[in-house]
């Protein structure tokens, strides 16, 4: 016999859209909003556990009771990049991936870095797609379909410089080239980000106020320390990030900024630029525990994440997951002195990994409904 799990959802007195918008500004809501993303292997197992056998992502989100949806668009333009045997080519950014199996399933891993150890001329001439070549015809349909949900554009990798260029030239080269302010690399960074800004601006213009937040990011931390120094950040990356934040300001929407690892060292600069909320929040990383973040930044930022994919969710029991969610909510649901609400979005720190049992994933969201509600 197949047992289908059904989430017992919290009572609701507002729409997901209202809940999402109010949480960004740390205003009172009926419950904490929630987010779900997962790798293909665990997504299939979660889907099957919920009785959703076609693995439709939106159906799973609806079953779990999550609160926001994407209005992003797909690239429909020409392929500007060379094919490599045995590899997949990303049609937007030109990096290569290949399937690498592991004991839990596998990943598409990066390979054949096209700009590794090449001349400045080759970096300078690397193609960047045109913002005109995205399919904007889907925006209005998505806005209509998801009108009761929080709607975002972008994502954790939007604007990201180090990861996007690392996939082309390797981490060593991108760090050296940023540190030395290599002209060809800076120019490629500028061209890539101007393309993304053009695409986002087009969506925001079409949406006419129906998009609720911009999601962007830059992975800035290792587990124990910053990835780069604050001076280098301010010289090279901060001006790029400000362009995207300023675009969001122009359309009067908040910004959710993703940064992996120990990244709270940059939060004051993000706040200065106008970032409203921060994402990932790996609790095991240095200066990233829920208590530290809430005490130091809770009066100035909303928070998104904190449930580690490398902790109980991936390797513990259902009870461990429930206790982790409950303990996190007890800290994060406390309003700051200058707010009426908590400003917390319950979410895994990253896409849920294949190490996670489906029952643990279900337990996470059930605990969110059980303990994330207000009386």
**pLDDT of 299-355, one tens digit each?**
999 999 999 999 999 999 999 999 999 999 999 999 999 999 899 999 999 999 999
Question: Does residue 3 surpass a pLDDT of 80?
Answer: no
Per-residue pLDDT, averaged over 61-81, amounts to 97
Q: Which of 255, 257, 245 is nearest to 281 (CA)?
A: 257
Per-residue pLDDT, averaged over 358-374, amounts to 97
CA angle 81, 82, 88 (to 5 degrees): 85
DSSP state of 117: T
Return the pLDDT at 329: 98
State the DSSP string of 52-66.
-TT--HHHHHHHHT-
Return the pLDDT at 30: 97
Domains of the chain: 16-371 (3.20.20.210)
**Number of neighbouring beta carbons within 10 Å of residue 299:** 14
User: 129 pLDDT band (50/70/90 cuts)?
Assistant: very high
Q: What is the pLDDT of residues 131-151, one digit of tens each?
A: 999 999 999 999 999 999 999
User: 375 pLDDT band (50/70/90 cuts)?
Assistant: confident
State the DSSP string of 276-313.
-EEEE--TTSTT--HHHHHHHHTTT-EEEEEE-TTTHH
Question: Does residue 215 surpass a pLDDT of 70?
Answer: yes
Return the pLDDT at 41: 95
Return the pLDDT at 64: 98
- β-pair partners for 107: 100
Question: Does residue 1 surpass a pLDDT of 60?
Answer: no
| pTM value > 0.75 | yes
Question: Does residue 2 surpass a pLDDT of 80?
Answer: no
Residue written as tokens 């904490």?
32
């Amino acid at each position: 016999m197949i047992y289908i799990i059904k989430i017992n959802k919290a009572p609701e007195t507002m729409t997901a859209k209202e809940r999402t918008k109010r949480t960004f500004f740390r205003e009172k809501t009926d419950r904490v909003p929630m987010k779900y993303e997962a790798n293909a292997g665990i997504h299939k197992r979660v889907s099957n556990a919920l009785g959703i056998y076609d693995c439709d992502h939106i159906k799973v989100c609806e079953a779990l009771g999550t609160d926001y949806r994407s209005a992003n668009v797909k690239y429909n333009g020409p392929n500007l990049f060379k094919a490599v045997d045995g590899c997949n080519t990303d049609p937007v950014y030109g990096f290569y991936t290949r399937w690498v199996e592991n004991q839990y399933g596998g990943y598409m891993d990066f390979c054949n870095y096209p700009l590794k150890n090449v001349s400045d001329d080759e970096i300078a001439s690397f193609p960047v797609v045109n913002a005109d070549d995205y399919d904007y015809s889907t925006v209005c349909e998505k806005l209509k379909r998801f009108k009761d949900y929080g709607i975002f554009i972008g994502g954790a990798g939007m604007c990201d410089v180090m990861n996007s260029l690392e996939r082309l030239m390797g981490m060593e080269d991108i760090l050296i080239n940023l540190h030395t302010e290599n002209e060809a690399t800076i120019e490629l960074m500028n061209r890539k980000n101007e393309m993304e800004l053009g695409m986002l601006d087009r969506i925001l213009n079409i949406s006419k106020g129906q998009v609720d937040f911009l999601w962007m990011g830059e992975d800035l931390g290792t587990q124990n320390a910053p990835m780069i120094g604050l001076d280098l950040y301010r010289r090279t990356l901060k001006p790029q990030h400000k362009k995207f934040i300023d675009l969001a300001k122009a359309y009067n929407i908040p910004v959710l900024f993703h940064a992996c690892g120990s990244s709270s060292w940059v939060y004051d600069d993000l706040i200065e630029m106008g970032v409203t909320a921060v994402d990932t929040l790996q609790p095991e990383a240095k200066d990233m525990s829920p208590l530290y973040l809430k005490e130091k930044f809770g009066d100035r930022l909303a928070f998104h994440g904190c449930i580690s994919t490398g902790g109980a969710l991936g390797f513990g029991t259902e009870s461990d997951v429930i206790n982790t969610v409950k303990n996190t909510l007890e800290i994060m649901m406390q309003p700051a002195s200058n707010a009426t609400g908590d400003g917390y979005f319950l979410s895994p720190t990253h896409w849920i990994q294949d190490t996670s049992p489906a029952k643990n994933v279900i337990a996470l969201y059930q605990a969110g409904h059980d303990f994330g509600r207000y009386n």
